[in-house]
Amino acid sequence: MSSGFVDKARITIKSGNGGNGAVAFHREKYVASGGPDGGDGGNGGDVVFVPDDSLTTLLDFRYKRKYVAENGEDGQGKRCSGKDGRSLYIKVPRGTVIRDYESGSIMHDMSDGICWTAAKGGRGGWGNIHFATPARQTPRFAKPGLPGESFDIVLELKLLADVGLIGFPNVGKSTFLSVVSKAHPKIANYHFTTLFPNLGVVYVNDGNSFVLADIPGIIEGASSGAGLGTEFLRHIERCRLFVHIIDVSGSEGRDPLDDYRKINDELRKHDEKLMDRPQIVVANKADLISEDDTAVDQLRSEAEKDGYPFFLCSAVSHSGIKPVIDKCYEMLSCIPVPGPYEADYVPKLPTGGSAEDLQITENDGVWIIEGDWIRKLIARINFSDYESRMYFDRLLRESGVFARLENMGIRDEDTVSIYDLTFDYKE
């Protein structure tokens, strides 16, 4: 693959950790028993993906693989809250699909043009000011911040083009693109001259235009990895219309009808839905056709039988080009723009651990529970949802947390504090 074009990248993202709450007490001359005044920790920064129409490649992600947002600052005395961590904004081309690396599921499709928060920053911990009560006037504890989220993800670029040029290598796709647009693809008389997709804007009339993509040559077996394999087959998935260019000159000893069938067969093997996509068949290099045009007639008959418009042209001499472009524009006006891919990623349910792996301390009737697995669990539970709360309660019971608390002497109405969760214990 050319070093100038990258359409797939694996990266790791991590949002910022929340800052810790502060344990502090008001100290001022002539003010007795000022009480607790520890501030809260700041929230960690989010990781946000931003669609950018000026980007056409994922090249930047080849050299940098880890993206981390800023942590929230710890709280301070005098009721001063820590500063929130700055969110990290990552720019990607608009057609980027974001997948979970482990499952391959789609997390988000950036073609909708909307910024997307991929990892939420950890919440800041409470300062000791929150734990003061008439019975507990000098709480000497605060809550630590929660960790940020971390994901291994795959960025997969699927070009956003209205029309895709498909066909075998060396049939004239790049020449066709250079003639109808201002694009300057590399053109040479050998296979796989085009190693990465090229985009061009085709202007029709009165300022109307559409985007045309030259997809690198597909060969027989491409859907199984032959040639450039599936590297660029993904780029045709978003195209609303295919222009299937076929060399009918016989200059390489190929059978045009056989080429037509093989390319469509590869599309079908890659994704059956592609055969429902409108297609225009263009017999190129017409200026080199011999007196025997039987091959052209056979191709025309097959294409029309399949319901595809057929055109004869020569990209080199520019003959027959305009009718193809006019037909493309006419058909595009009736083809809806495809919507973004629907996300199918389902986060794994958080799991519990063992109560013996936790640190449990008691301070003035407040039972503080800390530990790695319960911290991660708290960060992933939606406490506004009843079923999620019941799931959390069940995990605590199954892990032996409640049994250990009872063995340590917890009483009814004592307070249980687990990071940013606080509740009264009920026997």
pLDDT digits (tens, 9 = 90+) for 261-292: 998 998 888 889 889 999 999 999 988 887 66
Is residue 125 predicted with pLDDT exceeding 50? yes
Q: For 353-427, give the CATH class.
A: alpha beta
The more confident residue out of 393 and 32 is 393
pLDDT of amino acid 172: 87
Supply the angle between the helices 294-305 and 256-270 in degrees, to the nearest 10. Answer: 30
Task: Give pLDDT, residue 227.
Answer: 41
Closest CA to 76 of 45, 114, 38, 106: 38
Residue with tokens 């063992």: 354
Q: What value does the mean pLDDT of the chain take? A: 86
Contacts of 372 (CB under 8 A, 6+ apart): 353, 357
pLDDT for the residue numbered 391 = 92
Q: Are 355 and 404 in contact (CB under 8 A)?
A: yes
- Residues 81 and 175: their CA atoms lie apart, in Å, by 63
The pLDDT of residue 382 is 84
How high is the pLDDT of residue 171? 87
Q: Are 190 and 170 a contacting pair, CB within 8 Å?
A: yes
C-alpha dist (Å) from residue 306 to 64, 303, 392: 47, 5, 58
What pLDDT score was predicted for residue 228? 44
Contact in structure between 355 and 400 (CB atoms under 8 Å): yes
Q: How confident is the model at residue 163 (pLDDT cuts 50, 70, 90)?
A: very high
Average pLDDT for residues 74-87, to the nearest whole number?
A: 94
Query: How far does CA 309 lie from the centroid of its chain?
Result: 36
In the prediction, which pLDDT does 86 show? Answer: 97
Residue 222, token pair as written in the block: 């491409």
Rounded Cα–Cα distance for residues 376 and 372 (Å): 6
Q: What are phi and psi of 184, to 5 degrees?
A: -125, 70
Average pLDDT of the segment spanning 224-236: 57
First to last CA, the chain: 65
CA distance linking residue 277 with residue 258, whole number of Å: 20
Q: How confident is the model at residue 169 (pLDDT cuts 50, 70, 90)?
A: confident
Tally of CA atoms within 13 A in the half-sphere of 202 that contains its CB? 27
Question: Where in the chain are the domains?
Answer: 1-158, 163-332, 353-427
CA distances in angstroms from 320 to 325, 326, 420, listed in the order given: 9, 11, 70
Between 301 and 133, the more confident residue is 301
Could you tell me which of 200, 173, 166 has the C-alpha nearest to residue 56? Answer: 200
As given in the structure block, the two tokens for residue 60 are 């930047």
Given a cut of 70, whether residue 181 has pLDDT beyond it is: yes
**Residue 200: its pLDDT value, please?**
87
- Residue pair 72/80 in contact (Cβ under 8 Å)? The answer is no
- pLDDT band at residue 116 under the 50/70/90 scheme: very high
> How many whole angstroms from its chain centre is CA 137?
49
pLDDT at residue 205 is higher than 90: no
Tell me the mean pLDDT in the region 399-409.
93
How would you write the chain as a 3-class SS string? CCCCCCCEEEEEEECCCCCCCCCCECCECCECCCCECCCCCCCCCCEEEEECCCCCCCCHHHHCCEEECCCCCCCCCCCCCCCCCCCEEEEECCCEEEEECCCCCEEEEHHHCCCEEEECCCCCCCCHHHHCCCCCCCCCCCCCCCCCCEEEEEEEECCCCCEEEECCCCCCHHHHHHHHCCCCCCCCCCCCCCCCCEEEEEECCCCCEEEEEECCCCCCCHHHCCCCCCCCHHHHCCCCEEEEEEECCCCCCCCHHHHHHHHHHHHHHHCHHHHHCCEEEEEECHHHCCCCCHHHHHHHHHHHHCCCCEEECECCCCECHHHHHHHHHHHHCCCCCCCCCCCCCCCCCCCCCCHHHCEEEEECCEEEEECHHHHHHHHHCCCCCHHHHHHHHHHHHHHCHHHHHHHCCCCCCCEEEECCEEEECCC
CATH superfamily of the domain spanning 163-332: P-loop containing nucleotide triphosphate hydrolases (3.40.50.300)
pLDDT at 185 over 70: no
- What band does 222 get if pLDDT is binned at 50, 70 and 90? very low
Residue 340 structure tokens: 């973004």
User: What is the CATH number assigned to the segment(s) 1-158?
Assistant: 2.70.210.12
- pLDDT recorded at residue 187: 55
Mean pLDDT for 11-30 is 88
Confidence band of 193 (pLDDT split at 50, 70, 90): very low
